Chain A
Amino acid sequence: MAAFKHFQNMYDISLKPRLLRSLIRDHLPDEKHPFPRPSELSIVVSAIKTHGLLFESCREPVDPKQVDNWKTAIDAWVERLLLLASSKMPDKCWAGICLLGLTCQDCSSDRFLASYSVWFQKLVAQIQPPSASHFVKVASCASLADLFTRLGGFSNLKKDGTSHAGKLIQPILELLSDDSSEAVWEGAVDLLRSILIYFPASVHRHYDTVEAIIVSRIMSEKCSATISKFVYCLALLPKSKGDEVSWSLMMQKILISINAHLDDAFQGLEEETKSNEVIRHLVPPGKEPPPPLGGQPMSGEASNQATKASEQFILHRVSLLVCSCCTMLTNPYTIQVTIPVRPLLALVRRVLMVDGSLSQALLPFFTVIQQESICSDLPLLHLCTLDLLTAIIKGVRSQLLPHAADVVRLLTEYFRRCALPALRIKVYSIMRVLLISMGVGMALYLAQEVTNNAIIDLDFIAYGWGRASYNPNSKATTEALHQPSHRKRKHSTITASFQVQQSGVGREVETVKNKQVTPIAVQIAALQALEALLTVGGALRSESWRSNLDLLLITVATNAYDGEWANEEKGISVLSFEPNCTWAEFQLAALRALLASFLSPSRVRPRYLSDGLELFRRGKQEIGTKLAEFCAHALLALEVLIHPRSLPLVDISSRSQGEFVSSFDHRLPENLFSVSQKNNNCTFPGDILVMDDPELDDDLYSSWLGNGEETDVPMSVPDKQLRSAQELCGKDVWQATGDCLAEKILSDSTGALFLMEGDGGATGAAHMEIGGNGNVIMTESEQVQEIVRNNDVEAQDKDIVISTGSFTLIEGKPKKGKAESNRIYASKVATTISSFSVVNGMDSSDPVAAAATAKSTPAQGGLITTLISEKGRGLSLEYNTDASMDSFPDIVDGDPDSD
């Protein structure tokens, strides 16, 4: 290479071989040069990684000469590495092996396939006895693991890989059973894991030995960081056989072993029968129990002697074995297996039921020290067990259904007693998983429990006596954000909700008073659980908790904001006990839950929507934070609440007779649907389906348009009536939003449309009036909100009748009458009745039509129908002749049921 042939730039391909050669020359040792400082090696590694010196491929086609040049440079590199790897000097050998591992990872596929078996031989030699240095052993294990990881990517080489890996098992087992250093074990177990993942079949022959060695490591009293890797390998082990029996057997063995350990640990803390319960599920009566885990006797008298000495390790071992179960449950397996749900759940129940309390009879036999040691270890065990419960839920998926009620009962029971932050966080997260995966049925079960607990955990932040003392402004902020009228309501609700709690939960309220603050992490978990609850089950049977929850969430979010959003990077958390949970995360969780509260369907418009929008707007200004990203998303999601639209899913305009056009069968001479469209022009949103003008697809747009054009059209109805009708609509639309039907419409103006079309006198003018009403509603929304707030559920329920049309005429009346006779919401009822008669007016304005409507429900029985239709005629007459407010009381009086 000419010394003056310069490179184009730093991306130039001819740079790479040159760099590589310089590295080989300057930084790598060879036979003559001694090993440089280890930092030299890191220069080499970083250069190789940064410039991709071993890739041997580039994006754009280049001169083959340069490719050749690169190739020979890498040839030289590999040659040097192999030379180093066979060196007698341990440091040179180590460098060669390490870099060979890197080469396995980075080099081109062709090169790897051509030379991996040579490299394999080189590396294997280093983990076998003659090699003395631990350093070299660890490095060779890592390099071999990478070799297999790379090899696992080539699906056509499974067989070859398996045979290579098979040669390694024996040496690995020797490394593991040697009483050598921890680092070597770690390297060996990592290698074993790679082999189990990519070439499990190679372990088949040594299955029992591998199991025994792994188990003996887990059972040994040395606790260390690497132990979790052994646990993981144990869970992967059944893959080497790949059949259902070995998976089930392993699971069974582990469970029996856990149970035996628990027998030792829980002596005196629970009833003796608990242990048998698990065993009964695991080993059906009359069947032989499987051989013990790892081939050594774990239970029985002999082991009791041994384990007694190491009591403090029992619970630690149990948690390791539980971890192994979790891995088995959540990791994919090659074929379908039967998960022993019952014993698993029995085991979970057994552990969670033990809280360290002693039965009275056993007090004399138990020293305080014994109890202390058990109690100090129990939380960790509970944590593992809750993890196991999560794994069970994940593993069995929809098949949890038959056991779901059991799980929920266990969990809620546990939740009531659970007081440690870490455990509460776990329980919240399990509830979240359950809610999201099992849907509304689960929400019906869990709603009350989640709400009660979350209110307790969030109380101080919600009601100001925790954070408020820290920041005196926060309360003022809250008050400023709420209108005075809201505040009154709010406080009453708070007291109400607390009364509910006190009667419902009782004991916890006492503890709440003593508790200073709930850790932020727990509060975040509580908010996330609430978010899940609202996401899944906000609408069904939610009356009892929904309004409290909405209030709680806006209060929490408002207080969380307290004037400024926390800086995510700073990570300052005044109240946090855990370093990784910051105030910023709490704010994010609060806003997420708030969004769910707005979006979750309910019968009225979200009460605190404008407060919430303000929070999201301010949050969005925190540029570059997760919070801002989320707020932008929230504003987008809430836009449809402000501008409701009900667009058809099938967009006609954009699909211009696409793929099916050739196969259309034009046998229908005339399109009936479009004919009907001509008849009743634009009177309902459904018509959008057939509209030709693409602009009319947007019903919101068309309603705006209609609004503008037709304001000056003379009213065909007396002013007074129109005004009353407008008032009616203003009120009723909001009640109508309560019912599902109107939510479907999702549109204030459309909602008005659908009520107003009932106006029989103004069929032609119906559409433009609607536009007008839409406006009224928008501006009157505050007042309307107020009305709805004072409204109670009972009164709202009546309004459903409005939407159900002619049929409910029959049964709607008695209902009205009852409400009237109660005279509780007299004014309200009058309103509903008047609106009712407006709707009726449409059916009955034309006497013939009224009769026809009545007759069209023959199933309802003759007598009543005719009676009603008679009444309808009278009604309509009154309506038509004197269409003023005065006529409505007459109608009410005319109803025999109303008084």
Chain B
Amino acid sequence: MEVVIASSPVDAGIGCWDLHSGAEQLRYRSCTSTPHGLACVGQRFLASSQLRDSSSSSGSILYWSWSKPQVEVKSFPAEPIHPLVSNSDGMYIIGGGSSGAIYFWEVASGRLLKRWHAHYRAVTCLFLSDDESLLVSGAEDGCIRVWSLFMVFDDIGMEMAKNPYEYSFSEHTLRVTDMVSGYGGCNAIIVSASEDRTCKVWSLSRGKLLRSIDFPSIIEAVALDPGEHVFYAGARDGKIYIASINAETTSSNSYGKHIIGTLSDNSKGVTCLAFSKDGILLVSGSEDGTIRVWDAKTHNIVRIYRLAKGPVNNVLVVRRPLYSNRQTSENSHSSFSRRHAPLLPPPLGKYVNSTDENVDSGAVSVPQTPSSDIMDAPYLSYHVLTKQISELQVFFIFLS
């Protein structure tokens, strides 16, 4: 089931709607998420980094399982974490701290495997490349850096290398608000948005700026058309601008060079964008607390969900496993799904523990479907029979 999940910086919980039927699912309570601070970890559970009042020095990351509205696991990292991402199999959670450090946790054990100083100012957004070997981080000072995760874990190589990162882009002058990456592994493009009112298109393989587009308003969110002809840029003025990625356009229209149109609903500022898997439905979150689902083809609004009175700051479109669905619809079965829903992992660690170098790193093998076993054990008697018959024949020939 493809669902839209959305969270808000005010305590409105995490809303969850079926993308295609529009039915609201369970609402997960007590979440005040940071921008880009909502992640679905390996389709197994939801995690969100929390806004903290400035007095507390530690951060907070909460877990919810699909089937329960309450927070199940609370972690308190050493500093407030802003953006949060997870890799596709949910083995790792990566968070960007307010000091500019990036935290790398192993989900199964909760251990903090690595913490490294990535930026001079707070990290604002993070994403993993297609093959999940590169991490791209954006910061408040406008800096974007591309990290090879192998390099990050290779202490020897790190010492020899000139820079710990693969690329560092400093063309943005103000806070990076959002980044997306396109298709194509190491040949992908990155689109970044910043408070300097530009969106920039980068080539990952060459590490270069390809195009910079000026917008009439600050862009808070970007989403890439799966065909990569255009990208959608959600602006503070409430419009979603459509900007072309590769073609040269005339500057005849009213918005500016490369901007070829808008999706607009006369609403408040757009804060976040996400595409559905089919690449047609575009989901946007707004400052007025609503979530709009657009048809990117026709530019019409297909559906509107309401999350909160306050702004929405995260929307994700994720696939949700079906087993937990059963429980939300029929409460009588709750004991059943509690038994079947996997338990949530332990909380995330606070510090990199250097003393447990010798202890096992806790890699975990995931149980696979045992169907492959059937292939391993074919029926035997036919082979045994033919073998024995041929042995017997030799024996008979010997006798006669």
Encode B119-131 as 1/0 by CB contact (under 8 A) with A: 0000000000111
Selected contact of B381 from candidates A104, A409, A536, A646, CB within 8 Å: A104
Beyond A281-B360, A405-B154, A853-B257, is A143–B211 a contact (Cβ under 8 Å)? no
Selected contact of B264 from candidates A49, A672, A739, CB within 8 Å: A672
Q: Is A822 an interface residue (CB 8 A)?
A: no
Q: Is B229 an interface residue (CB 8 A)?
A: yes
CB of B389 within 8 A of CB of A666, answer: no
Selected contact of B89 from candidates A331, A398, A440, CB within 8 Å: A398
- State A540–B130 Cα separation when bound (angstroms): 14
Selected contact of A190 from candidates B154, B262, B360, B380, CB within 8 Å: B380
- State A338–B145 Cα separation when bound (angstroms): 33
What chain B residues lie within 8 Å of A685 (beta carbons)? 229, 246-247
Encode B211-238 as 1/0 by CB contact (under 8 A) with A: 1101000000000011111100000000
CB of A444 within 8 A of CB of B150, answer: yes
What chain B residues lie within 8 Å of A665 (beta carbons)? 300-304
Q: Is A647 an interface residue (CB 8 A)?
A: yes
Selected contact of A138 from candidates B205, B252, B388, CB within 8 Å: B388
Q: Is A7 an interface residue (CB 8 A)?
A: no
Beyond A672-B299, A683-B249, is A441–B361 a contact (Cβ under 8 Å)? no
CB of A439 within 8 A of CB of B225, answer: no
Q: Is A181 an interface residue (CB 8 A)?
A: no
**Chain B residue, CB-CB nearest to A756:** B248
CB of B227 within 8 A of CB of A648, answer: yes
Q: Which of A441, A648, A753 has the most CB of B within 10 A?
A: A441
CB of B365 within 8 A of CB of A396, answer: yes
Not counting A142-B385, A646-B246, a sample of 16 additional A-B residue pairs whose C-beta atoms are within 8 angstroms of each other reads A38-B393, A41-B385, A105-B379, A335-B367, A340-B360, A397-B89, A445-B150, A445-B157, A537-B186, A538-B186, A649-B226, A650-B296, A664-B298, A679-B253, A804-B209, A859-B198
Q: Is A856 an interface residue (CB 8 A)?
A: yes
Selected contact of B361 from candidates A333, A334, A403, A443, CB within 8 Å: A403
CB of B260 within 8 A of CB of A804, answer: no
Could you give 6 example pairs across A and B, Cβ below 8 Å? Answer: A105-B381, A149-B378, A405-B156, A441-B150, A665-B301, A667-B301
CB of B260 within 8 A of CB of A441, answer: no
Beyond A139-B385, A401-B92, A601-B187, is A684–B247 a contact (Cβ under 8 Å)? yes
- At the interface with chain B, which of A10-18, A290-298, A742-750, A891-899? A742-750
CB of A440 within 8 A of CB of B367, answer: no
Q: Is A400 an interface residue (CB 8 A)?
A: yes
- At the interface with chain A, which of B30-38, B309-317, B369-377? B369-377
CB under 8 Å from chain A, chain B span 37-58:
none
Q: Is B322 an interface residue (CB 8 A)?
A: no
Q: Which of B166, B379, B381 has the most CB of A within 10 A?
A: B381
- State A646–B369 Cα separation when bound (angstroms): 39
CB of A803 within 8 A of CB of B211, answer: yes
Selected contact of A38 from candidates B206, B229, B280, B389, CB within 8 Å: B389
What chain B residues lie within 8 Å of A444 (beta carbons)? 148, 150-151, 166
Which 10 A-B pairs give the minimum distances between C-beta atoms?
A439-B131, A101-B381, A441-B133, A405-B154, A684-B247, A740-B203, A649-B227, A539-B205, A540-B186, A439-B133
What chain A residues lie within 8 Å of B170 (beta carbons)? none
CB of A336 within 8 A of CB of B365, answer: yes
Encode A824-845 as 1/0 by CB contact (under 8 A) with B: 0000000000000000001100
CB of A668 within 8 A of CB of B253, answer: no
Encode A125-161 as 1/0 by CB contact (under 8 A) with B: 0000000000100110011011001101100000000
- State A280–B360 Cα separation when bound (angstroms): 10
**Chain B residue, CB-CB nearest to A444:** B148
CB under 8 Å from chain B, chain A span 601-648:
601, 603, 646-648
Q: Is B398 an interface residue (CB 8 A)?
A: no
Q: Is A483 an interface residue (CB 8 A)?
A: no
CB of A142 within 8 A of CB of B380, answer: yes
CB under 8 Å from chain A, chain B span 340-367:
358-367
CB of B203 within 8 A of CB of A741, answer: yes
CB of B376 within 8 A of CB of A805, answer: no
CB of B359 within 8 A of CB of A284, answer: yes
- State A572–B92 Cα separation when bound (angstroms): 50
CB of B156 within 8 A of CB of A409, answer: yes
- State A220–B355 Cα separation when bound (angstroms): 42
Closest chain-A Cβ to B108's Cβ sits at a distance in Å of 7
Q: Is B23 an interface residue (CB 8 A)?
A: no
A interface residue count range (under 10 / 10 to 19 / 20 to 34 / 35 or more): 35 or more
Closest chain-A Cβ to B170's Cβ sits at a distance in Å of 12
CB of A98 within 8 A of CB of B205, answer: no
What chain B residues lie within 8 Å of A758 (beta carbons)? 248
Q: Which of A396, A403, A439, A680 has the most CB of B within 10 A?
A: A439
What chain B residues lie within 8 Å of A687 (beta carbons)? 260
Q: Is A37 an interface residue (CB 8 A)?
A: yes
Q: Is B197 an interface residue (CB 8 A)?
A: yes
Beyond A98-B384, A686-B230, is A741–B211 a contact (Cβ under 8 Å)? yes
Beyond A194-B377, A753-B247, A757-B248, is A671–B132 a contact (Cβ under 8 Å)? no
- State A646–B201 Cα separation when bound (angstroms): 18
Q: Is A342 an interface residue (CB 8 A)?
A: yes
- State A403–B106 Cα separation when bound (angstroms): 13
CB under 8 Å from chain B, chain A span 671-719:
671-673, 675-676, 679-680, 683-689
Q: Is A517 an interface residue (CB 8 A)?
A: no
Q: Is A477 an interface residue (CB 8 A)?
A: no
CB of A739 within 8 A of CB of B295, answer: no
Q: Is A761 an interface residue (CB 8 A)?
A: no
- State A174–B246 Cα separation when bound (angstroms): 75
What chain B residues lie within 8 Å of A843 (beta carbons)? 251
What chain B residues lie within 8 Å of A663 (beta carbons)? 22, 302-303
Beyond A340-B360, A439-B129, A440-B129, is A757–B372 a contact (Cβ under 8 Å)? no
Q: Is B173 an interface residue (CB 8 A)?
A: yes
- State A105–B197 Cα separation when bound (angstroms): 71
CB of B365 within 8 A of CB of A441, answer: no
Q: Is B339 an interface residue (CB 8 A)?
A: no
Q: Is A454 an interface residue (CB 8 A)?
A: no
What chain A residues lie within 8 Å of B212 (beta carbons)? 804-805, 807-808
- State A98–B389 Cα separation when bound (angstroms): 10
Q: Is B392 an interface residue (CB 8 A)?
A: yes
Q: Is B162 an interface residue (CB 8 A)?
A: no
- State A337–B368 Cα separation when bound (angstroms): 12
Beyond A440-B133, A803-B211, is A42–B389 a contact (Cβ under 8 Å)? yes
**Chain B residue, CB-CB nearest to A535:** B185
Encode B265-291 as 1/0 by CB contact (under 8 A) with A: 100000000000001100000000000
Q: Is A343 an interface residue (CB 8 A)?
A: yes
**Chain B residue, CB-CB nearest to A648:** B227
Q: Is A849 an interface residue (CB 8 A)?
A: yes
CB of B89 within 8 A of CB of A284, answer: no
CB of B187 within 8 A of CB of A139, answer: no
CB of A38 within 8 A of CB of B373, answer: no
CB under 8 Å from chain A, chain B span 113-146:
113-114, 129-134
Q: Is A256 an interface residue (CB 8 A)?
A: no
Encode B85-99 as 1/0 by CB contact (under 8 A) with A: 001010110000000
What chain B residues lie within 8 Å of A536 (beta carbons)? 131, 185-186
Closest chain-A Cβ to B166's Cβ sits at a distance in Å of 8
CB of A859 within 8 A of CB of B186, answer: no
- State A743–B189 Cα separation when bound (angstroms): 11
CB of B189 within 8 A of CB of A740, answer: yes
CB of B248 within 8 A of CB of A139, answer: no
Q: Which of B91, B154, B187, B392 has the most CB of A within 10 A?
A: B187
CB of B262 within 8 A of CB of A672, answer: yes
Closest chain-B Cβ to A446's Cβ sits at a distance in Å of 10
Q: Which of B91, B114, B299, B379 has the most CB of A within 10 A?
A: B379
Closest chain-A Cβ to B254's Cβ sits at a distance in Å of 9
Q: Is A755 an interface residue (CB 8 A)?
A: yes
- State A145–B247 Cα separation when bound (angstroms): 66
**Chain A residue, CB-CB nearest to B189:** A740
Beyond A402-B113, A741-B201, is A650–B174 a contact (Cβ under 8 Å)? no
